[in-house]
Amino acid sequence: MDFAATTEQRRMIAGARRFASGLGRLGEGLDESEFNKAGWEACAQYGVLGWLTPQEYGGAGLDPLSAALSLEALGAGCADNGLLFAVNNHLFACTTYLLDHGTPEQRSEWLPALASGSVIGAHALTEVTAGSDVLSMRTVARRVGDRFVIDGRKTYISNGPVAGLFVVFARTDEGAPGQASISAFLVPSTQSGVTVRPLTKMGLGGTPMGEVTFEDCAVPATSLLGEPGGAYQMFQTGLVWERGFMFATQVGALERLLDEMVAHCNERRQFGRTIGSNQSVAHRIADHKVRVETSKLLLHKIAWKVKAGHLAIEEACMLKLWVSEALKSISLDLLQLRGAAGFLAGAPAERQVRDSLAATIYGGTSEIQRSTIAAMSGLVVSGAAS
């Protein structure tokens, strides 16, 4: 495995980091429930939303390693976690499904709009009773002539209130074995029978979340994404994108937060010396440095495997677990080291802690990741299917 960046990749990394450094200012003054439209449009103009999309559909067609390195640089330069979360959901919970499973007609219809950012993508899978436990979903799609009629309610859908396209998972054959009863559909938000109710969350401002209801929502059979009954396997392979590449920006964030911590500890003086000279502080920094470097290695390995055509589900679960827990740890340490100043409502350290807590939940909780990793290691573990 060779992870050495090429000259072109180094140029892309530097450019992405410079671009990202100005993104945070575009969200200043927004209420935390508001969508950062200016930031989104900047990402679209720079080409971020089309990094994965082939050039024939208006994108850049980056290979997986180049995309991972660019996203890592984006996270290293941009402190607007909510904006990056919206971008990640658009790319890895919608665009990649079309790239991997869309028909030529579906790709032609949707990929150019997704790459330009004129349509925002969202992933409508989660329900009150079904998240990682996909087979517990209750949303159904009944075949009626040349259409499917979808009925059900999805919740905690990131980008939901601003989405123009949903990748919707629903049961299409109650008589089929569990995994073969789930299908996926491309449903525009303007489709009759679709309603969205915004939800309020504690962090990741800039990424609106909503509850999406489908009531007698009739879509043409051509809206079916992939094969009938094939969505469960589609979801499983999609986890590499969702749990692996979606965390590339968080790997960059770890590096950014470590740099911030080092700078603060070198500047802040107490009792006649910098706080970084205290061994208890220095050891925290050393531990976070190890987490940053191991995160990078695992991310780059995943990208290399995907580029080579290999599955990397286990590695993606490990990266998701490791990076999300590391992000929470470094965020709490930053707040602790800033003391009362970090604890003020609205302070950067306080917002970072709230944002970091979500990382151990979305895309499958840390508990789910551990169960899945244990099962893939050969241990018989209940509830480790996804």
- Between 156 and 377, whose confidence is greater? 156
Which residue from 88, 171, 87, 99 is spatially nearest to 134, judged by alpha carbons? 171
**Mean local confidence (pLDDT), 59-87:** 96
Task: List CB contacts of 364: < 8 A, sequence separation 6 or more.
Answer: 131, 132, 239, 243, 317, 320, 372, 386
> In whole numbers, what is the pLDDT of the chain averaged over residues?
93
Active site amino acids: 242
**Model confidence over 361-374: pLDDT tens digits?**
999 999 999 999 99
Confidence of residue 379 (pLDDT cuts 50, 70, 90): confident
Name the DSSP class of 6.
Answer: P
* Weakest-pLDDT range from 92-106, 156-170, 175-189: 175-189
Confidence (pLDDT) at 102 = 97
pLDDT at 133 over 90: no
Q: Which amino acid is at 127?
A: E
Residues 43 and 78 sit within 8 Å (Cβ to Cβ): no
pLDDT at 383 over 90: no
Give the up-direction half-sphere exposure of residue 197: CA atoms within 13 A in the CB hemisphere: 6
Give the up-direction half-sphere exposure of residue 120: CA atoms within 13 A in the CB hemisphere: 23
* Weakest-pLDDT range from 53-62, 230-239, 344-353: 230-239
pLDDT at 265 over 60: yes
pLDDT at 129 over 90: no
- Sign of the dihedral defined by the CA atoms of residues 183, 189, 194, 196, in that order: positive
User: Other C-beta atoms within 10 Å of 22: how many?
Assistant: 12
Q: Are strands 224-225 and 269-270 parallel, antiparallel or unpaired?
A: unpaired
Stated pTM of the model? 0.92
Helices (H), ranges, 103-199: 104-116
Confidence (pLDDT) at 381 = 60
pLDDT at 43 over 90: yes
**Model confidence over 13-22: pLDDT tens digits?**
999 999 999 8
**Mean local confidence (pLDDT), 219-227:** 96
**Mean local confidence (pLDDT), 59-67:** 95
Confidence (pLDDT) at 45 = 97
Q: Which regions of the chain does DSSP assign to beta strands (E)? A: 121-124, 140-144, 147-158, 165-171, 182-188, 194-199, 209-220, 224-225, 269-270, 273-274
Task: List CB contacts of 172: < 8 A, sequence separation 6 or more.
Answer: 140, 141, 142, 143, 148, 181, 182, 183, 228, 229
Q: Are strands 147-158 and 194-199 parallel, antiparallel or unpaired?
A: unpaired
Rounded (10°) angle between helices 231-239 and 313-338 = 50
User: Other C-beta atoms within 10 Å of 266: how many?
Assistant: 12
In the chain, pLDDT over 90 holds for what percent of residues?
A: 82
Name the DSSP class of 95.
Answer: I
Confidence (pLDDT) at 5 = 84
Confidence of residue 176 (pLDDT cuts 50, 70, 90): confident
Give the up-direction half-sphere exposure of residue 96: CA atoms within 13 A in the CB hemisphere: 26
Residues 189 and 121 sit within 8 Å (Cβ to Cβ): no
Name the DSSP class of 233.
Answer: H
